């Protein structure tokens, strides 16, 4: 979703996003525009006891922006789709919640994230979670095959958010839930920010204005039931922090139901 006359180069954006999250998978201790890892997950509200039950190396590469699994309320036996699963933190937690009678499918476009998550699933004996290569705008899954779709810090990275929410609606059975955390803004970002692929890859440039974001979800066929701000999420570089303060860039978590 682009605005104005200048255009974001979506091919460059995809390469930058892949490059950024390749590094998050392979070198999680590096410094990024955003925080990563277990201290971040715990500050966002992930219960330590739950994190203790999933592979530590997945959490090292955690790059989410908020906690939302309490809203998702995933039950044993359910089938869950994780859009932009990264190294797998939320997928592994969802896999614990669905148990052996349920299933989790994580989708990601970055090979190194997928390879890491898949390796950790095999090493940890998580037979009910499967990581697939794909785009969140057109995930390679059966229609109406899921009880719940989850996503953390990913939709803001997509230049076609309408396609992402339409794909989530298609993947869910009627009444299915969408629970996610993402970045939104108070005011529409100017072109200087929205056309900057490196600020997109840092989870800022692609953030939509919050009312517009709600409207896109609703027009995809969802009713938003819970919407909450996550003030505990913050960006770390000066450049990112400036944009954050100027345009009210914030993390939110939400629960929506497919009508
Ligand atoms: C900020 S990270 C979050 C990863 C994971 N959800 C977590 O919480 O750690 C964003 C992830 O989304 C993936 N991604 C971004 N845009 C995507 C797209 N259009 N289709 C599929 N994956 C995408 C990236 O490869 C990266 O792994």
pLDDT given for residue 25 in this prediction:
96
Distance 72 CA to ligand 1 centre (A): 19
Determine contact, residues 228/253, Cβ cutoff 8 Å: yes
Return the closest-CA partner of residue 85 out of 37, 185, 152, 138.
Answer: 152
pLDDT given for residue 5 in this prediction:
56
Q: At what angle do helices 111-123 and 89-98 cross, to 10 degrees?
A: 40
- How far, in Å, are 52, 69, 117, 162, 233 from residue 113 at the CA level? 21, 21, 6, 24, 22
Strand partners for 101: none
Distance 87 CA to ligand 1 centre (A): 9
Distance 83 CA to ligand 1 centre (A): 7
- In tens digits, the chain (259 residues) has pLDDT values of 444 456 788 898 899 999 999 999 999 999 887 899 999 999 999 999 999 999 999 999 999 999 999 999 999 999 999 999 999 999 999 999 999 999 999 999 999 999 999 999 999 989 999 999 999 999 999 999 999 999 999 999 999 999 999 999 999 999 999 999 999 999 999 888 888 887 787 778 899 999 999 999 999 999 999 999 999 998 887 777 787 889 999 999 999 999 9
Helix (H) / strand (E) element for 5: namely none
**What ranges in the chain are assigned the alpha helix state H?**
10-26, 38-44, 48-51, 56-60, 69-72, 89-98, 111-123, 161-171, 191-194, 197-201, 210-219, 238-247
pLDDT given for residue 109 in this prediction:
98
Nearest residue by C-alpha to atom 8 in ligand 1: 64
Return the closest-CA partner of residue 134 out of 142, 123, 126.
Answer: 142
Greatest distance between any 2 Cα atoms in the chain:
51
3-state secondary structure of 31: coil
pTM for this prediction? 0.96
The secondary structure of 132-200 as a DSSP string is EE--TTS-SS-TT-EEEEEEES-GGG-S-HHHHHHHHHHHEEEEEEEEEEEEEESSPPPHHHHT-HHHH
- Ligand 1 contact, 66 CB (< 6 A): no
- Ligand 1 contact, 14 CB (< 6 A): no
Tokens read off for 245: 């303060």
Please state, in angstroms and rounded to a whole number, the distance separating the CA atoms of residues 111 and 133. 7
Return the closest-CA partner of residue 66 out of 89, 87, 32.
Answer: 89
Please state, in angstroms and rounded to a whole number, the distance separating the CA atoms of residues 8 and 145. 33
């Amino acid at each position: 979703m682009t605005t104005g006359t200048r255009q974001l180069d979506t091919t460059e954006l995809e390469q930058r996003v892949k490059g950024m999250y390749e590094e998050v998978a392979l070198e999680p201790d590096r410094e990024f525009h955003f925080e990563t890892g277990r201290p971040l997950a715990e500050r966002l509200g992930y219960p330590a006891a739950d994190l203790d039950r999933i592979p530590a190396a997945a959490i090292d590469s955690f790059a989410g922006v908020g906690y939302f699994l309490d809203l998702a309320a995933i039950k044993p036996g359910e089938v869950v789709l994780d859009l932009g699963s990264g190294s797998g933190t939320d997928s592994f937690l969802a896999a614990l919640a669905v148990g052996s009678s349920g299933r989790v499918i994580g989708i990601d476009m970055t090979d190194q994230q997928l390879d890491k998550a898949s390796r950790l699933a095999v090493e940890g004996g998580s037979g009910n979670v499967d990581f697939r290569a794909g785009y969140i705008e057109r995930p390679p899954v059966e229609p109406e095959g899921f009880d719940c779709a989850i996503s953390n810090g990913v939709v803001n990275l997509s230049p076609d958010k309408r396609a992402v929410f339409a794909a989530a609606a298609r993947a869910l059975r009627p009444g299915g839930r969408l629970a996610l955390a993402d970045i939104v803004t108070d005011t529409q970002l100017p072109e200087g920010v929205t056309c900057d692929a490196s600020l997109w890859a840092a989870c800022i440039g692609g953030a939509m204005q919050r009312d517009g974001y709600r409207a896109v979800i609703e027009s995809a066929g969802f009713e938003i039931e819970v919407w909450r701000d996550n003030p505990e999420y913050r960006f770390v570089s000066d450049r990112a922090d400036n944009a954050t303060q100027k345009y009210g860039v914030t993390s939110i978590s939400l629960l929506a139901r497919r009508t």
